[in-house]
Every structure is written in C-alpha cells, then in structure tokens.
Structure 1
Amino acid sequence: MSPHKLLQIALVLFGIVFCLVYPLAIVWPTGWAWHAGPPADSDYFLMIVGVYATLGIFLILAARDPAAHRSLILFTIWSSLVHAAIMAFEAMGAAGQHGHLMGDVPALVLVAAVLGGLLYADRNGRAAG
C-alpha cells in the first residue's frame, strides 16, 4: 500500500480517536482524564474534548487530500508532541496521575510518529514520482 493511502487511513483513524476522547475517559479515566469523578465534572476536560473533537473532524476531512492540508497535519504532529511532553512532566510529578504515562502520553507520541513518518514518506514518494 502506498504511503499516500496509509496517510489517508491514519488521518481518518486518528481523527476518529480524537473524536472519542470523552468515551475513552469514561472507560479508562486514569489514562485519559486529569480529575476525579465523571468527565463532565471538569470544565477544563470538556474544553479539551471540544478542541480534540474539532481537530478530529478536520483530520478526517484532510484525508481526502493530505497535501492540501499539510499545515494541519504538521500542527497535529507538533502539538501532539508538545502536549505529550507537558503531560508526561505533569504526570511524573502529580500523585495519582501516573496512568497518563501509559494512556494519553504514548498515544499522542504515536500520533506524531505515525503522521510524521507517513507525511515524510508521502512527500518523498510524490517528489520522486
């Protein structure tokens, strides 16, 4: 399968996952939510859910033509790495938050690595072809 097709698939899959942050926090709160109690108990968490759901929808739309949405994909890569680094730092220092080191932190690094690798491979493949 071509890097372009794999990138399209990854954009859709990660877009769907970003749209499912709220249910993930219900199923595995220690890995996805930063507060005690139900996800709806935190205005901060609901704000993050809204931002990620919006990003998820736009990643799904970007899958139609990834080259035309390169800046959105790069934003997703770099913001995921920054978010993961901050969350890892905070999780190591906060009591009861170590679950994030096995939940959302590696998930965001995975998003950045997969999208970065596929974006690079797709761009190189298009330049060579």
Structure 2
Amino acid sequence: MSATRLLQILLVAFGAVFCLIWPLSIVWPAGWTWHEGPATASHYYVMILGVYATLGVFLIAAARAPLAHASLIWFTAISSAVHAVIMAFQAMGDPMQRGHLLGDVPALLLVTVAFAVLLPKAQRENAAASASPA
C-alpha cells in the first residue's frame, strides 16, 4: 500500500475519532475528560469538543487530496504532539488524571507519529512519480 493511500485512510480514521471525542468521553471519562460530571458540565470542554470536531471534519475532507492539505496535516501532527506533552506532564502531576496517560496522550502521539512519518513519505512518492517518464 502506498504512503499516500495509507495517509488517506488515517486522515479519515483520525478525523472520525476527533469527531467522536464526546462519545469517547462518555465511555471512558478517565481517559478523555479533565473535569467531573458530564461533558456539558464544563464550558471549556465543550469548546474543545467543538474545535476537535471541526478539525476532524477538515481531516476527513483532506483525505481526498492529502498533499494539497499538507499544512493542515502538519498542524495536526505538531499541535497533537504539543497537546500530548502538556497533558502528560499535567497527568503525571495529578494522580486523579493518570488515566490520560493511557487514553488521549498516546492517541495524540499516535496521530503525531503517523502523520509526521507518512506525509513526507507520500510527498517523496509523489515527487518520484512526477519525475518518472510517462
């Protein structure tokens, strides 16, 4: 399978997960929420849900032509790494938040690694295909 095709699949998969953070927080609150009570109990968390759902929709749309949306994919990779590192430090400092070390922290690091590896590989494949005589 080409890197571009795998990137397309992961854009849809990760985009869908970003759209489904609310249901994930209901099923496994210790790994996906940072407050007590239902998701709607925190204005901050509802805002985060909206931002991630929007990002998820755009990632799914980017799957049609991933290389044309490289900046969105890099933004997702780098912002996911930053988010994961901050959350990991916060979770290590608060015993009540340690579930995040098994939930959203590794999920965000997976997004980071997958996109940071696959996007350059897909770009190299595309460049090689463009350079080949037809």
Q: Shorter-normalised TM-score: what interval?
A: over 0.9
- Specify the alignment match of 1:52 in structure 2: 52
**Structure 2 unaligned spans of 5+:** 130-134
- Specify the alignment match of 2:18 in structure 1: 18
Mapped partners of 1:114, 1:67: distance in 2? 15
Mapped partners of 1:94, 1:42: distance in 2? 19
- Specify the alignment match of 2:132 in structure 1: none
**Structure 1 unaligned spans of 5+:** none
TM-score (structure 2 length as normaliser): 0.94
- Specify the alignment match of 2:71 in structure 1: 71
What CA deviation, in whole Å up to 9, does each residue of 1:72-129 have, x standing for no partner?
Answer: 0000000000000000010011130000000000000000111111101101111222
List structure 1 segments (4+ residues) > 4 angstroms apart after TM superposition. none
Q: Which of 1 and 2 has greater Rg? A: 2
What RMSD over aligned residues (CA atoms) do the two structures have, in Å? 0.7
TM-score (structure 1 length as normaliser): 0.98
Mapped partners of 2:127, 2:57: distance in 1? 28
Mapped partners of 2:54, 2:42: distance in 1? 19
The residue type paired with residue 85 of structure 2 is A
